[in-house]
Structure formats: structure tokens, C-alpha cells
Chain A
Amino acid sequence: GAGVSQSPRYKVAKRGQDVALRCDPISGHVSLFWYQQALGQGPEFLTYFQNEAQLDKSGLPSDRFFAERPEGSVSTLKIQRTQQEDSAVYLCASSSDDSHYGYTFGSGTRLTVV
């Protein structure tokens, strides 16, 4: 597609529910990133894939957070047993291998845990 597509756009979850957030990167983009953006804050790095390999997951806040990209294209960020502090916008970005930080961001998924 023309851009990075994220779904759903909005998600309301009850505390304790599991959620799955999807990211469709730009076709052919090797690198894929997930960021978390709390209200009024800048995005914070969660994890990074190069093709299907998860090269950096240092930003995942707890073992309730899990990301995968099994075929090197679509990625899913899963949050188990959601807590109120997980409420945020989750941003996905992709870039080509030689772009030097030439990210294209999606519009994000706004997660609200009630």
C-alpha cells in the first residue's frame, strides 16, 4: 500500500483483557518499529524488527507485551492482561534498509483500558 496501515484505529479494552494491534508496513520495507505514545508525551521505542527477526525489544515495558512479524511483513503487537497504564497510542513505522532513519509512521492505534 501507499503508507503504513494500522488497525484498529481505536480500541477500548476492559482491564485484564488481551488485545492485538496490527501493522501493515509499506511493501518491501525491511525495518519495522513499534512506539508507545502516552497522552501529551513523545513516542517511546518499544521494539524493532529487521525482516522477521526481532533485533531489539529493550523498550517493551513488561512481559505482558509481545510483538511478532512472522513473515517479515505484517506485524502484531499483543498486550496481555491489559492495565490502565497501557492506555496510549501505539505507533508503527517502517523503513527501507538504506533509508537512514527514513521512517514512515502509521496513524496509530489509540488503546484505552477501562
Chain B
Amino acid sequence: GNSVTQMEGPVTLSEEAFLTINCTYTATGYPSLFWYVQYPGEGLQLLLKATKADDKGSNKGFEATYRKETTSFHLEKGSVQVSDSAVYFCALGQGAQKLVFGQGTRLTINP
């Protein structure tokens, strides 16, 4: 079945550091790929998405590229801020709008 694997957390960085959170997936066919973010006390929010191979999703300085050859969708940001502290979820969608999520990566940014 479809599945998503994220790098284990928690991840702790200093402000202005470079961020990578790894995500790989297993799926038949060509799913859409997503990154969601969950800030403390809030609901999940869509951060970015890509719907086909080689697409790059971007938002708020975050980027992720859909790599079919490596079945990956790694999240990157060049310079993180304290306000980026949250839990990040990689997810895939295939058919009937159902999402399959990874286990989440907690990110803490220290000033």
C-alpha cells in the first residue's frame, strides 16, 4: 500500500540555519505530494504541494521538488526563523482525495 517515511525528529536548529527534512514515499502510479505544517495549538495547514514529477512546490521560503526517480519530496528552507518552529508532515494523495501522512518531524528553532 501507499506509505510515507519522514526523517526522525526532533530537529533543533539555530536561527538562519539551512533546513532539510527528508521525505520518501511508496506508491503505485503518480501521487500528488504535500507538506503540511502544524503550529502549536493550531490545525494542520497546507504548506506546499506538487502534483507531478519534477514540479517544485514553494511557499513562505520553503521548497520541495517531486523526484520520481528517488521517490522523494524533501523539504528545504535556506534560512529558518524562530516562527518556523512547528511539526511538519509529508503526505501523499492518490484517488478520492484521501491523504496518507508521514509520522511528522518536530522542528525547533532557537534564537
**Which residues does A use to contact B, with CB under 8 Å?**
3-4, 31, 33, 35, 40-45, 48, 55-56, 91, 93, 95, 100-108
Residues of A within 8 A of B93 (CB): 101
- Are B46 and A48 neighbours in the complex by a CB distance under 8 Å? no
- Are A45 and B89 neighbours in the complex by a CB distance under 8 Å? no
7 residue pairs bridging A and B, Cβ less than 8 Å apart: A33-B97, A33-B98, A45-B98, A45-B100, A48-B96, A93-B44, A105-B44
Residues of A within 8 A of B101 (CB): 42-44
Residue from A40, A45, A55 within 8 A of B103 (CB atoms): A40
Residue in chain B with minimal CB distance to A59: B98
A-B contact count (CB 8 A): 58
- Are A101 and B45 neighbours in the complex by a CB distance under 8 Å? no
A31 and B97 contact, Cβ closer than 8 Å, known pairs A42-B102, A100-B51, A101-B34: yes
- Are A48 and B104 neighbours in the complex by a CB distance under 8 Å? no
- Are A108 and B43 neighbours in the complex by a CB distance under 8 Å? yes
Is B49 an interface position by the 8 A CB rule?
yes
Residue from B43, B91, B96 within 8 A of A55 (CB atoms): B96
- Are A40 and B43 neighbours in the complex by a CB distance under 8 Å? no
Residue from B32, B45, B102, B104 within 8 A of A100 (CB atoms): B32
B9 to nearest A CB, angstroms?
Answer: 10
Residues of B within 8 A of A105 (CB): 43-45
- Are B96 and A56 neighbours in the complex by a CB distance under 8 Å? yes
A47 to nearest B CB, angstroms?
Answer: 10
- Are B97 and A48 neighbours in the complex by a CB distance under 8 Å? yes
Residue from A101, A107, A108 within 8 A of B99 (CB atoms): A101
Residues of A within 8 A of B100 (CB): 45
Residues of A within 8 A of B41 (CB): 107
- Are A95 and B97 neighbours in the complex by a CB distance under 8 Å? yes
Is B42 an interface position by the 8 A CB rule?
yes
- Are B98 and A4 neighbours in the complex by a CB distance under 8 Å? no
Residues of A within 8 A of B51 (CB): 100
